[in-house]
Amino acid sequence: MDRGQQRGGSWSGARRVLKSVRDVMAASRSAQARLDQVVKVIAGGMVAEVCSVYVQRAGDVLELFATEGLKPEAVHVTRLRVGEGLVGDIAAHARPLAIADAQSHPAFAYRPETGEEIYHSLMGVPILRGGRVIGVLVVQNRRPRHYSEEEVETMETIAMVLAELVASGEVVNPAELHPTDGIAVLPVRLEGLRLNAGIAMGQAVLHRPRIAITRLIAEDTAAEVKRLTQALSSLHTALDDLLAAPDLADSGEHRDVLETYRMFAQDSGWLGRIRETMGAGLTAEAAVQKVQEDTRARMAHVSDPYLRERLLDFEDLTNRLLQHLAGNGGTAAAAGLPEDAVLIARSLGPAELLDYDRSKLRAVVMEEGSATAHVSIIGRALGVPVLGRVKGVLDKIDPLDPVIVDADHSQMFIRPSEDVQQAFHETMRARAARAAEYISMRELPSITRDGVAVSLNINAGLLADLSHLEETGAEGVGLYRTEIPFMVRSAFPDVADQTRFYKKVFKAVGSRSVVFRTLDIGGDKTLSYMSHPDEENPAMGWRSIRIGLDHPVLLREQLRSLLRASAKRRLDVMFPMISDVAEFEAARAILELEMKRAARRGDPPPKQIRVGAMLEVPALAWQLEALLPKVDFLSIGSNDLLQFLFASDRGNPALSERYDMLSPAVLRFLRAVVELCAAANVPLSICGEMAGRPLEAMALVGIGLRSLSMTPASIGPVKSLVRSLDISDLEPYLVELCRRPDRSLRSALKAFAQDHGAAI
């Protein structure tokens, strides 16, 4: 008998077991009675001497709720912690386990009241609901038995059916698993990760895209396959309509995201697993949900951020496909939104966010998410505050609860008290007034009171960011992060694609300047289509220009695209994370190769080419005398530079307040760089968080920096500061301050600002 015949036989057996389980579940008996009968049916159908169901209780405890084969007196007595024993191991890792000799396994935990010492082999699967383990289903046999993959899949399918009963509230009160650290009506403050800055007030709208599946067993498999085909066709049409929407028709990273998402919807592996699962006799909805649960379980312990974000895209697709199968909207987007909606979700896909009425959407809060997630890119394009990684928000919030999202400070307030609401109303009014003030000075020059010009530029990584040039009156783009278009694709963009994109950037900036940073990947910015080594310290590992020099084709194609796109314009290009002069020389040599290649082809050349380096690695500061004659400009990348100076991971919350960027060590280091660049007549700028904070910007101007690049939202506040400064007072004061042994100069600089009317 071949594998196909074996599989066909096993699917046939699976259908019989599932039908029997379904009949038991449909009976009008108590939940306990149904569980007691289900374990008998499963034991018979799986040819096992034992079948047991463990249900998770409060405190991460698994309780034996029903058994066929173990001692009856162990029911509701035997308990295992999550992670304890083989059952606890299945729950802890949300994955199946099949062992021919369970008692020899190091994780085996013996419970004498069960009488299980006579059973040797064991197979168990997690009972999953919404990606969370809510129980474990186990079968055991007296003799050593090697359970097949088909038997494991059958058990997983049965567990999915059982999940409906376990999660119904009839077995365990759902409130038992909810956090008990406060009364629901009390105000709650939660912290998260800022994915897009801003402040918003509104009413909570719970996304909750889960579709209730009432029919699990298929009566006619061919009819279910037809329903799936029709739903997929409807899904693809809906995605095409979304891409054709007028406000999304323009090119940009948000469109690249949706194009990639559209490709996911045609992924043959995903669709193949769904169709294969339907072969077990499940309905189309049940098969889609089972593949979703299996994928969640496999990905639960994946730490790679890009892979986890792609999982969210597949979850979004799964939910949308279920909606098309069910014939309804399925999410809060299908219902009417309040005028000031704050969307709350465990996770969101990019298309799901775009389902919502953007005119009523004030903010987005998620339990998951990262700055490079597709939904974050879409959120930035829409201009709404986005807060991610807000742990437990769905357990603490009810629909239409009043909510304040303060993404600027990575926090949110649920049911805020009147005084908190009043404070934020005042904050928002003040922000609106300041925004009007900043707009009014948009055309005014960024010049100090004593006539010193300070160039203010924006950092950008999206085409949508470039609209802020006109809004803010910024002089240009001091840092264009070219890696983001690479990160939202499923394959390397070719030269033609890159050239088209860079031409759009040039068109958007108009006559203003733009500095392109070459590909800065690696570390926390990985590409799904490129292998990255496991590194103990990725921030200081194989990343940035190191990858470009080791894979010169990548760098050559990017530089070739930039040269073609910049025809008859000035091209400013800089190489990131240069650690020594030889790296810069090697990178510049690659650029010169591409310039010669373009000349041979007869491509129209740029009007001018300026080549720079980023100072992020402290070692480069002691090589500036050798480097400066070779560069046209230098840019300080403050974020990486400061974490390397202090040997302090900037993403580690335990270290976030330990070191201050306004310390004498930092300012003396930067002033030395300023003096060397001034002596060599090399233009110097700084980009990063430090440049966009008014107090820090005051210190930077005071030590001699005259070009700052920052987020668009920081242009107004920093310009207001610059126009309130008198450099002749500030410079000598900073010289004196830098001699101090203080850990931080922040308080002294604040005092100076207050005494001299500086707008910090």
Q: What are the pLDDT digits (tens) for 261-308?
A: 566 566 667 778 888 888 777 888 888 888 877 776 666 555 555 555
At residue 527 the predicted structure's pLDDT band, cuts being 50, 70 and 90, is low
Greatest mean pLDDT range, 214-228, 564-578, 654-668, 733-747 = 564-578
pLDDT of residue 258: 60
Nearest to 293 by CA among 267, 319, 275, 326: 319
Lowest mean pLDDT among 131-135, 172-176, 252-256: 252-256
Residue 526 has pLDDT above 70, yes or no: no
Lowest mean pLDDT among 5-14, 335-344, 682-691, 743-752: 5-14
Nearest to 612 by CA among 591, 593, 642: 591
Dihedral of CA 526/531/537/543: which sign?
A: negative
pLDDT of residue 195: 85
- Looking at residue 594, its amino acid is E
Lowest mean pLDDT among 96-110, 375-389, 438-452, 467-481: 375-389
Q: Give the residue with greater pLDDT, 635 vs 15.
A: 635
pLDDT of residue 175: 60
CB-based contact 448:727 (threshold 8 Å): yes
Dihedral of CA 317/323/329/333: which sign?
A: negative
- Looking at residue 135, its amino acid is G
Q: Which of the residues 254, 324, 374, 468 is marked catalytic?
A: 374
The contacts of residue 419 (CB under 8 Å, 6+ apart) are none
Residue 50 has pLDDT above 70, yes or no: yes
Share of the chain above pLDDT 90, in %: 44
Q: What angle do CA 573, 576, 581 make, to 5 degrees?
A: 95
Greatest mean pLDDT range, 28-42, 211-225, 427-441 = 28-42
If one counts every other C-beta atom within 10 angstroms of the C-beta of residue 430, the result is 10
Lowest mean pLDDT among 385-394, 420-429, 716-725: 420-429
**What does DSSP assign to residue 537?**
S
Task: Give ranges for CATH 3.50.30.10 in the chain.
Answer: 188-208+335-426
Q: What is the mean pLDDT of the chain?
A: 84
Q: Which of the residues 51, 677, 687, 738 is marked catalytic?
A: 687
Task: Give ranges for CATH 3.30.450.40 in the chain.
Answer: 3-172
Query: H-helix or E-strand containing 673?
Result: helix 664-680
Residue 416 Ramachandran class (φ > 0 left, ψ -120 to 50 alpha, else beta): beta
What is the distance between the alpha carbons of residues 269 and 271, in angstroms, rounded to a whole number?
A: 6
Task: Give ranges for CATH 3.20.20.60 in the chain.
Answer: 441-756
Structure tokens at 363: 């903010």
pLDDT of residue 9: 43
pLDDT of residue 7: 43
Q: φ and ψ at 247, to 5 degrees? A: -80, 0
Read out DSSP for 544-602?
THHHHHHSHHHHHHHHHHHHHHTBTSEEEEEESS--SHHHHHHHHHHHHHHHHHHHHHT
What is the distance between the alpha carbons of residues 398 and 401, in angstroms, rounded to a whole number?
A: 6
- Looking at residue 412, its amino acid is M
CATH class, 441-756 region: alpha beta
What is the distance between the alpha carbons of residues 356 and 349, in angstroms, rounded to a whole number?
A: 12
- Looking at residue 690, its amino acid is M
The contacts of residue 55 (CB under 8 Å, 6+ apart) are 62, 63, 65, 127, 134, 135, 166, 171, 172
Residue 375 Ramachandran class (φ > 0 left, ψ -120 to 50 alpha, else beta): alpha
Side-chain-side CA neighbours of 290 within 13 Å: the count stands at: 30
The contacts of residue 689 (CB under 8 Å, 6+ apart) are 638, 639
pLDDT of residue 261: 56
Lowest mean pLDDT among 114-128, 533-547, 551-565, 685-699: 533-547
Which stretches within 327-453 are classed as H helix? 350-354, 374-382, 393-396, 418-440
Residue 687 has pLDDT above 80, yes or no: yes
pLDDT of residue 425: 85
Q: Give the residue with greater pLDDT, 472 vs 588.
A: 588
pLDDT of residue 4: 40
Q: Give the residue with greater pLDDT, 396 vs 531.
A: 396
pLDDT of residue 219: 77
Structure tokens at 6: 């074996």
Rounded to the nearest 10 degrees, the angle between the axes of helix 712-724 and helix 694-702 is 50
CATH class, 3-172 region: alpha beta
What is the distance between the alpha carbons of residues 667 and 636, in angstroms, rounded to a whole number?
A: 13
Q: φ and ψ at 134, to 5 degrees? A: -120, 0
Read out DSSP for 473-488?
T--EEEEEETTHHHHT
Q: Taking residues 325-341, what's their average pLDDT?
A: 72
Question: At 746, is the secondary structure helix, strand, or coil?
Answer: helix
CATH superfamily of the domain spanning 221-330: PtsI, HPr-binding domain (1.10.274.10)
Dihedral of CA 421/427/431/437: which sign?
A: positive
Rg (CA), the chain: 30
pLDDT of residue 248: 54
Query: H-helix or E-strand containing 709?
Result: strand 707-710
Q: Which CATH architecture has domain 188-208+335-426?
A: 3-Layer(bba) Sandwich (3.50)
Q: Give the residue with greater pLDDT, 465 vs 444.
A: 444
Q: Taking residues 74-94, what's their average pLDDT?
A: 92
Residue 655 has pLDDT above 80, yes or no: no
pLDDT of residue 177: 53
In this structure, the strands spanning 341-345 and 608-615 are unpaired
Question: At 621, is the secondary structure helix, strand, or coil?
Answer: helix
The contacts of residue 458 (CB under 8 Å, 6+ apart) are 465, 468, 469, 472, 474, 476, 477, 478, 709, 710, 711, 712, 715
146 catalytic? Reply is no
Question: At 489, is the secondary structure helix, strand, or coil?
Answer: coil
Can you give the pTM of this predicted structure? 0.58
Residue 332 has pLDDT above 70, yes or no: no
105 catalytic? Reply is no
Which stretches within 681-745 are classed as H helix? 694-702, 712-724, 727-737
Dihedral over alpha carbons 318, 320, 324, 328 (to 10 degrees) = 130
